[in-house]
Amino acid sequence: MKLWKRTHSCGELNKGNIEENVTLMGWVNSRRDHGGLIFIDLRDREGKTQIVFDPKVSKEAHQLAHNIRNEFVIAVKGEVSFRGKDAINPNMKTGEIEIRISEMQILSQSKQLPFSISEYSDVGEDARLKYRYLDLRRTEMKNNIILRHKVSLLIRNFLNKKGFLEIETPFLTKSTPEGARDYIVPSRVNPGKFFALPQSPQLFKQLLMISGFDKYFQIVRCFRDEDLRADRAPEFTQLDMEMSFIDRDILFNLIEELMATLFKEILSAEVKRPFPRLDYDDAMSHYGIDKPDLRYGMKIHNLNEFFKDTQFSPFSEVLAGNGKIGALKTEQPEKFSRKNIDDLDLFVKSLGLGGLISIRFKEGSELQSSLKKYITEETAALLKKEMQAQPGDLVFIAAGSTEKVNQVLGLLRIKIANTLKIIPKEQYKFLWVTNFPLFEYSQTEKRYTSVHHPFTAPVDEDIAMLESNPYQVRSKAYDLVLNGNEIGGGSIRIHRTELQQKIFNLLGIKAEEAEQKFGFLLEALQYGPPPHGGIAFGMDRIVMLLAGASSIRDAIAFPKTAKATCPLTGAPSEVSSEQLKELHIKLDL
């Protein structure tokens, strides 16, 4: 059977093609067999077209069409015809026409599918991932993959126009001590030695700056062997960028233009510029998180002042210990029953705080709360003013260490917003978070570690504090946040060897170790490095948000599960003892 030549896709024919003879190929999306007439929606990547088998047109084709089942692949020849006024389907792009079939070939058959391709049926993610190639036939996933392509193309075109070069960097590279756990690849020809897959092309892009490629970008896979989340995959794609001779504002401006272009081209959404900026410290104290969702309010208030003389010992102890009494006023307070509030209390406890206290404001300085006897009428009035509370309003209070209170109230804020469903869809609130601390203390490692990475430059006026007060030093790092998602982050880098050495020292990385791990960078920094900085974006997250999806997996053609496995291929899997032997690897399980 010779394969015919396809003349059109299933998404392009319309009234203008009437009376044309066409050849279509595609999958049988649905079959409506009326005995006399058989209708089939033929589907390909571009869309669906209704084809009709009428014995008056071809007895043979009509006969053959009885054998067709869903997801068979067929080729059909026929004439494009108008459906007739009453038969038009306004929900289909090709809904005014149909193809009256004169000849058909069955190109391949299909077993009954493990799930329906129809957009009207729900399918569990288990089944979808195991049969991902079928899942990708479904409209929603297909559109996400097409959208992802468009995003990549827009980015490449935009950056090309701005003078950027896309340059590839190695996947088989060197393990670095800071940062995430590496995925490791053994080197057969170098027994006992290992490559690491890149967590990001960080060092290479800095080297490219030293090479003089002053505007670099790459859409590139990165790998991190850490535990996963809805928005975190073990291998993920970054839009990685670096520029020389720039300051933060040049970069911000460029990125804002890029984002506005993306959102306009993809969603026809106008994005307000410039994007607001928020200091890390303010983000933490007002939202309890470094990636606040600005689509809704419920900011965290600090109530320390109001309880400085309190007799309520849990609070006075917190204040004595330099802690925080934080509060947030919920929206839609009328929706909170005693049971709801108890559940939130449990939620707060599960995150490691003592509990949640609620205050329901009434008329005047009246209030209803387990804390009532510790609150004077005067304090009640002040509280009411601070929280801008109306009668009926509900305020949640938590106390503990400042970090914990911020974190827990931040998570509570998100939980309440989700529960109340007050987060507006189709609204895009970008935010730059700036002035991150340079260092943080790592409980697990018992030393300072970089908040961003060890190549991040400190804020100039804080450099003097590096030794005396390293915890207070701010960095020239920034994150781009969209609707509560960190979609990108970067920094202005250190471009002087001495400062880089000093940072390594403070991080407890010995000169010898620094030499061994980053020697090549330190050496490169001695050969005329330009001042430079950059940013990297989570492509999968951006596509996820543009697609309106809630999991990064819906933005990836062949994603991994939360346990970093692939149900489709069965990866990861054992390898033969011969393979291990060649690599000089012995297992110790």
Partner RNA sequence: GGGGUCGUAGUGCAGUCCGGUCCAACACGCCUGCCUGUCACGCAGGAGAACGCGGGUUCAAAUCCCGUCGGCCCCGCCA
Q: Considering only residues 270-329, where is the footprint of RNA by CB under 7 A?
A: none
Regarding 355 and contact with RNA (CB under 7 A), the answer is: no
Residues 415-434 that bind RNA (CB under 7 A): none
Query: Which of residues 389 and 556 has its CB atom nearest to RNA in the complex?
Result: 556
Residue ranges with strand state E in 370-494? 394-400, 430-434, 439-442, 447-450, 477-482, 485-492
166 binds RNA (CB under 7 A): no
**Binding residues for RNA, how many (CB under 7 A)?**
78
Pairing of strands 357-361, 394-400: antiparallel
Regarding 93 and contact with RNA (CB under 7 A), the answer is no
Shortest Å distance, C-beta 550 to RNA: 8
Q: Is 86 in the site for RNA (CB under 7 A)?
A: yes
Does 446 help bind RNA (rule: CB under 7 A)? no
Subset of 396-415 contacting RNA (CB under 7 A): 407, 411
Long-range contacts of range 569-576, CB-CB < 8 Å, 24 or more positions apart?
Answer: none
Q: Give Cα 272 to chain centroid, integer Å.
A: 21
Distance CA 584, CA 527 (A): 39
Decide if residue 41 touches RNA (CB under 7 A). Answer: yes
Determine which residue in the list 322, 337, 443, 576 makes contact with RNA, applying CB under 7 A: 443
- Please say which residue, 100 or 295, places its beta carbon nearer to RNA: 100
Residue whose CB is less far from RNA, 429 or 452:
452
Q: Which of 532, 442, 434 is closest to 489 using CA atoms?
A: 434
Question: Phi, psi (5° rounding) for residue 77?
Answer: -115, 145
What does the alpha-carbon distance between residue 511 and residue 577 come to, in Å, rounded to a whole number?
40
Residue 330 tokens read as 């919920």
| Token pair belonging to 365 | 């300085």
Say whether residue 568 binds RNA (CB under 7 A).
Answer: no
Q: How far is the CB of 125 from RNA (least distance, A)?
A: 5
Strands 165-166, 215-223: pairing kind: parallel
Which of residues 263 and 296 has its CB atom nearest to RNA in the complex? Answer: 296
| Phi-psi sector, 538: left (phi>0), alpha (psi -120 to 50), beta | beta
**Distances from the Cα of 528 to the Cαs of 138, 295, 493, 534, 567, in angstroms?**
53, 45, 14, 18, 49
* Token couple for 473: 């030093």
Q: Binding segment for RNA among 108-116, 253-261, 354-362, 522-530 (CB under 7 A)?
A: 108-116
Q: Does 175 participate in binding RNA (rule CB under 7 A)?
A: no
**49 lines the binding site for RNA (CB under 7 A):** no
Does residue 202 belong to the site contacting RNA (CB under 7 A)? yes
The CB-side HSE value for 158 (13 A sphere, CA atoms) comes to 22
Determine which residue in the list 265, 565, 580, 585 makes contact with RNA, applying CB under 7 A.
565
Q: Pick one of 561, 568, 580, 585: the residue that binds RNA (CB under 7 A).
A: 561
Find the shortest distance in angstroms from Cβ 433 to RNA. Answer: 14
**Using an 8 Å Cβ cutoff, are 177 and 450 in contact?**
no
Q: Which is nearer to RNA, 179 or 186 (CB)?
A: 179
Taking the complex as a whole, the smallest distance from the CB of residue 148 to RNA amounts, in Å, to 18
Q: Does 228 bind RNA (CB under 7 A)?
A: yes
186 belongs to the binding site for RNA (CB under 7 A): no
Residue 352's region, left for phi above 0, alpha for psi from -120 to 50, else beta, is left
CB-nearer residue toward RNA: 379 or 435: 435
CB closer to RNA, 226 vs 270: 226
Convert residues 475-514 into a mask of x (bound to RNA by CB under 7 A) and - (unbound).
----------------------------------------
**Scanning residues 52 to 71, which ones bind RNA (CB under 7 A)?**
52, 54-56, 69-70
Q: Does 155 bind RNA (CB under 7 A)?
A: no
Query: Two tokens at 228?
Result: 């996963």
- Using CB under 7 A as the binding rule, whether residue 137 contacts RNA is answered as no
Asked whether position 570 contacts RNA by CB under 7 A, the answer is: no
118 binds RNA (CB under 7 A): yes
Of 173, 261, 449, 505, which one interacts with RNA (CB under 7 A)? Answer: 449
| ∠ Cα 319 324 329 (to 5°) | 130
Three-class DSSP category at 178: coil
Interface region with RNA, contact rule CB under 7 A, candidates 5-13, 27-35, 327-335, 579-587:
27-35
**C-beta of 55 vs 531, nearer to RNA:** 55
Site stretch for RNA (CB under 7 A), options 14-22, 244-252, 274-282, 560-568: 560-568
3-state secondary structure at position 556: coil
Q: How far is the CB of 489 from RNA (least distance, A)?
A: 8
Name the residue with tokens 């689509």. 295
| CA distance to 259, 432, 540, per residue, from 217 (Å) | 15, 20, 16
Is residue 37 close enough to count as binding RNA by CB under 7 A? Answer: yes
Locate all alpha helices (DSSP H) within 212-361, ordered by sequence: 248-267, 280-287, 313-320, 338-350
What is the radius of gyration, based on Cα positions, of the chain? 30
Instruction: Tell whether the torsion through CA atoms of 126, 131, 133 and 135 is positive or negative.
Output: negative
562 binds RNA (CB under 7 A): yes
Tell me which of 73, 106, 451, 568 binds RNA, using CB under 7 A: 451
Shortest gap between Cβ of 205 and RNA (angstroms)?
10
Residue 73 as a binder of RNA (CB under 7 A): the answer is no
Q: How far is the CB of 274 from RNA (least distance, A)?
A: 26
CA distances, 474 to each of 338, 448, 501 (Å): 43, 14, 18
Q: Is the dihedral of CA 496, 501, 507, 513 positive or negative?
A: positive
Does residue number 351 form part of the binding site for RNA (CB under 7 A)? yes
Q: CB of 432: closest distance to RNA in angstroms? A: 17
Phi, psi (5° rounding) for residue 520? -65, -35
Stretch that binds RNA, among 17-25, 195-203, 210-218, 256-264 (CB under 7 A): 195-203
Rule CB under 7 A: say whether 168 interacts with RNA. Answer: no
- Which listed range, 14-22, 122-130, 267-275, 334-342, lies at the site for RNA (CB under 7 A)? 122-130
The residues pairing with 389 across neighbouring beta strands, listed in sequence order, are: none
Q: Give helix then strand counts, H and E, for the chain.
A: 15, 22
Q: What angle do CA 242, 246, 247 make, to 5 degrees?
A: 110
What phi, psi does 239 have (nearest 5°)? -90, 110
